[in-house]
Amino acid sequence: MGLVKVVEGSVTAEQLEQDFTFHFPRGSEWKVSPCGTDFILQFPNKERLQELINFPELKLKKFGARVEVMAWSSQAKAKARLHTVWLLVENVPEEMLNYHGACELGSLIGAVEEVDMEALDEREMVRLKVHVMSIDKIPSVLEIVVKPFLYDISFKVESIVEEGWATVGSGKNGKQDLVNENVEGADCEAFSDSRNIST
């Protein structure tokens, strides 16, 4: 399966079938199915799919459009990829020094992928791999409540595992960098109030 993304202009499924059948004959017509603003094609084999993926873009001169081909996957339809970072969390109450407590703390910042259990078990250090909308908006301190006490929890970015991106409909895979300072609605933007964590 292949995904065809329109990066410039517009084209219909019928026009795409017509163009691919003419320029890339396969013994039968190409079958195209709409998928949102993009299209899904059934390729005869992986070799033909890879051949078209290798082109930076394809120009449909007859219809004034440009498209690019990529392998189909659930990720192919993503409109953005979050930043992935390792975080160090300090001043964590003893009640929170466990896997579930660490996940609760991480969820205040973004989507938790991994808890460093070795650091947690051997050094009582909370170290998390988290996906976030904006690195710049990760708070340095958050207040949390572990009844009946109030704590200031510190967050520090240890390293950036992978930068995020957002789709813009241009460039390879239609992606651009997900710029930290310009992202609205970031995970941590409004965390100025105290968080009540039950233990």
Residue 177 has a pLDDT of 55
How confident is residue 99, by pLDDT bands cut at 50, 70 and 90? very high
| One domain for residues 97 and 167 | yes
Q: Give the number of domains in the chain.
A: 2
| One domain for residues 52 and 111 | no
| One domain for residues 66 and 84 | no
The residue from 19, 53, 77 where one domain ends is 77
Residue 26 has a pLDDT of 74
| One domain for residues 8 and 93 | no
| One domain for residues 27 and 10 | yes
| One domain for residues 120 and 107 | yes
Q: Alpha helix locations (H) across 1-136?
A: 13-23, 46-53, 99-107, 117-123
Residue 106 has a pLDDT of 96
Of the candidates 129, 156, 134, the one whose C-alpha atom is nearest the C-alpha of residue 83 is 134
| One domain for residues 56 and 108 | no
CATH code, domain with 46: 3.30.70
The domain in which residue 144 lies consists of: 80-196
**For the chain, percent of residues with pLDDT exceeding 70:** 81
This prediction has a pTM of 0.58
- Residues 38 and 12 sit within 8 Å (Cβ to Cβ): no
